[in-house]
């Protein structure tokens, strides 16, 4: 069963994020607190949205997907960025990942989103094979760029003050 996450799921979502970070060999980078997740998912202006996968027999949470809207200047439309997709190891192969992605694809179409995009680690062959089975297009000509920490602060220090508005959180 796939359902929209509720505020009561925040602790479980945080636990799933930590499990995903362990799987991706980056647990030290998963620092989001329950309070941050609660505000991001259920605050006055949600920054992201989440779906929960439950085991049909036990009702236990076995996975989740967390996404947020994005905008394409080329198409002039919104799209969806899938930030996290995770199914617990014991539940893999049970159709939960596919059901989560199908639910997200339906959300895209229902909202007029033309693109549904996400990243996958190059070494994660099981996920890559799964995505290929769905007909996913891999954009090998694009490279992900990230600026954080001290380099981000150094570049920000060069900005004219009026050019850096504060957005609502």
Give catalytic residues, as residue numbers.
131
d(CA 134, CA 136): 6
Which helix or strand (DSSP H or E) is residue 65 part of?
strand 61-72
* Inter-helix orientation angle 34-42/10-23, to 10°: 110
Query: Measuring CA to CA, which residue among 102, 95, 83, 94 is closest to residue 17?
Result: 83
Helix spans in 29-159 (H): 34-42, 96-110, 125-133, 149-156
d(CA 14, CA 115): 27
User: What is the C-alpha radius of gyration for the chain, rounded to an integer number of angstroms?
Assistant: 17
């Amino acid at each position: 069963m796939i359902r929209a996450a509720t505020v009561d799921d925040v602790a479980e979502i945080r636990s799933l994020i930590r499990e995903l970070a362990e799987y991706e060999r980056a647990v030290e980078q998963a620092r989001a607190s329950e309070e941050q997740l609660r505000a991001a998912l259920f605050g006055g202006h949600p920054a992201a949205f989440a779906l929960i996968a439950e085991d049909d027999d036990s009702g236990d949470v076995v996975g989740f997907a967390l996404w947020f809207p994005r905008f394409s200047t080329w198409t002039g439309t919104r799209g969806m960025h899938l930030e996290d997709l995770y199914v617990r190891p014991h539940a893999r192969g049970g159709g939960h990942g596919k059901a989560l992605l199908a639910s997200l694809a339906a959300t895209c179409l229902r909202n007029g989103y033309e693109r549904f995009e996400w990243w996958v680690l190059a070494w994660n062959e099981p996920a890559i094979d799964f995505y290929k089975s769905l007909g996913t297009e891999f954009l090998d000509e694009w490279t992900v760029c990230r600026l954080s920490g001290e380099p981000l602060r150094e570049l920000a220090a060069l900005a004219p003050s009026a050019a850096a508005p504060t957005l609502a959180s």
